[in-house]
Amino acid sequence: MTEEEPVAPRSRRRLSTFIFATLGFAVVVGLSFFWAWPLFHTTKAFEEPKLTTVHLDEEPFMRMILGPGQTYRPIELMAGTVVRFNCEVVAVATTPPRFALTAWGKVHEGKDCTFDLTVPAEPGLRADLVVTFYDGGAQKATDALTVPTLVVPPFEGVEFYALEDAKHQPVQPGAASDEAYVYARAIGKLPGDGRDFAALFFTADPTNGVPVLELLPMKEGDKPELMTGSVIRYRSYGADLSGYAFWSPQPVRIGGKSGNRAVTDLYAGIFRRDELPQLLGKLLKVDVTGPDTVTVTPLITDSRELKALTVGGRLLSQSLHLIRGPSAEPTGNEARVPPAPVVAPATAPTTAR
């Protein structure tokens, strides 16, 4: 005879089903609340009247949570230029809002948050611009925002912004590594958004001042390719000039081949992209003489010749003096790095070795 297994009473099965269903419902509700809570706060923030973002000469500014000892970076404005100030708000009243802007001792008022301001011709002047928002034309201020500014001298050219090592850690010019990513900006007037232009990078031995164009790593059989940076417009400087950012796509080699301490001058310039093929022939003679040997001969003798080839003959940086420290001892785990090219003197013929 086979024994029959005992069957749980129906009431007990119903109780278990009810408990599991209740727990499942609670989990779903909890997860929904977890995901919806941030969205609720975001939506709630748009129901509170306030100033959100300011643009001054196309440079954005907004409130941020600052840490101990941190301050806002002032927005640079060129002396004597006319700049536009505008802001974005969350307004809940049905009647139009009102705005007041205090800038360099003057108060400007309007029904929209757009003001054209003349920057004082006082380089070095620091001032806070304060915009006040009155929702629905209220007499009491609804919100206010303070924007720090710094007046700088009129300038058109190229400036270095930052250097980073191969691991994208900041480095100082006085303690550069064997190679460095270069970040810079150009201030000028280029047609369009900068896409028709490119940045090129150069190094020079300060003992002779001959700029040597940076090329991408090569091997035997390759054609020389320029190390080219894209030029991106990011703001205006008054009505006539714009700011453009650019950077090196790969690290620029610093110093010679020995790995000892060395001083190198770094240059960056802006050129027309459609002129790059002709520029290579004007700047360098390149010979690949073996799998590990690239010999380059500069065809210009100084930075003045190089500057004349840039856009308008004016978009070349001043030289940045870099002091390279001694190279670290190899550990045997480093990836193979293509050798630096041999630079022949500008006045000497190229020799294969």
Q: What is the pLDDT of residue 338?
A: 45
Rounded to whole angstroms, the Cα distance separating 341 from 256 reads 9
Local confidence pLDDT in tens for the 353 residues of the chain: 555 555 555 566 666 676 666 766 666 656 555 555 454 444 445 468 999 999 999 999 999 888 998 999 999 999 999 999 999 999 888 888 999 999 999 999 999 999 999 999 999 999 999 999 999 877 899 999 999 999 999 999 999 999 999 899 998 888 888 889 999 999 999 988 889 999 999 999 998 999 999 998 876 667 888 999 999 999 999 999 999 999 999 999 887 555 566 789 999 999 999 999 999 999 998 877 666 677 888 999 999 999 999 999 999 999 999 988 665 444 444 433 444 555 555 544 333 33
Write the CA distances from 98 to 101, 112, 202, integer angstroms.
Answer: 10, 7, 52
Tokens for 291?
A: 């799998």
Q: How many CB atoms lie within 10 A of CB 123?
A: 15
The reported pTM is 0.77
Given the DSSP bridges, would you call strands 197-204 and 211-213 parallel, antiparallel or unpaired? antiparallel
Rounded to whole angstroms, the Cα distance separating 278 from 290 reads 25
Closest CA to 316 of 196, 195, 202: 202
Q: What is the pLDDT of residue 347?
A: 46
Helices (H) and strands (E) in the chain, counts: 3, 22
Tokens for 83?
A: 């700049």
Q: What is the pLDDT of residue 211?
A: 95
Rounded to whole angstroms, the Cα distance separating 9 from 12 reads 5
Q: What is the pLDDT of residue 258?
A: 54
CA 161 to chain centre: 9
Rounded to whole angstroms, the Cα distance separating 220 from 295 reads 12
Task: Name residues whose C-beta falls within 8 Å of residue 249's C-beta, 6 or more positions apart in sequence.
Answer: 227, 228, 229
User: Would you say 78 and 155 are in contact if contact means Cβ atoms under 8 Å apart?
Assistant: yes
